[in-house]
Structure 1
Amino acid sequence: MGQAGKALKRVLETYKITQYRLASELGIGRSNVYRWVNEVRDPTAETVKDIVDILRKINAAAAEEFIQLYLGGNSIEDEDKEQFLDNEESD
């Protein structure tokens, strides 16, 4: 699980989009967005498309970053590893 949830979490935080707003725009309960962001459940492929469409409506840059993070480019796991290694070196 997780790449969509990790990408979505980062985008929502970066662009200050609330889980409630995304859920409202998607016409679903906030608990669904919570489950994706916390990697309890993955959104379906159709839902990922809907997320992109709504993010474009809210903030086009957020949508593009979500796509980039979800489909490739800067791997979230690689960035997490780099942060961990940086923290280890400074200790």
Structure 2
Amino acid sequence: MGKAGKALRQTLETYGISQNKLAVTLGVDRSMIFKWYHEQRDPTAETVVQIAEALKGLNPEAAAEFIRLYVGDFLL
């Protein structure tokens, strides 16, 4: 498990976004965010896109950071 959870954790901590706030924005139970955050489960590729979209609605810089941390400099 790993990269998505690490990217999510770092992004939420850096931008002060709570797991609960992201869960509400995504429309999922907070336990799912907890599992991704603590690397107990990996989100699907489709869910990674949904996370990025939710973060974009909360803070566009956070969404960009999440994608950068998850994908790396591959897209640059």
TM-score, normalised via structure 2 length: 0.94
Whole-Å separation in 1 of the counterparts to 2:72 and 2:64: 12
- Structure-to-structure mapping, 1:37-76, within 5 angstroms: 37-73=37-73
**Identity over aligned residues, as a percent?**
55
Counterpart of 1:33?
A: 33
Shift, 1:72, TM fit:
1.1
Q: Deviations over 1:19-41 (max 9, x none)?
A: 00000111110000000010000
Match of 1:72, SS?
Answer: helix
Q: Which runs of 5+ in 2 are unaligned?
A: none
**Larger Cα Rg: Structure 1 or Structure 2?**
1
Whole-Å separation in 2 of the counterparts to 1:22 and 1:44: 16
Match of 1:14, SS?
Answer: helix
Q: Which runs of 5+ in 1 are unaligned?
A: 74-91
List, as ranges, runs of 4+ consecutive aligned residues in structure 1 with deviation greater than 4 Å. Answer: none
Supply the RMSD in Å over aligned alpha carbons.
0.6
The code of the aligned residue for 1:30 comes to: R
Counterpart of 1:18?
A: 18
> Per chain length, whose mean CA-contact separation is higher, i.e. which structure has more relative contact order (CA < 8 Å, sep 6+)?
2
Counterpart of 2:6?
A: 6
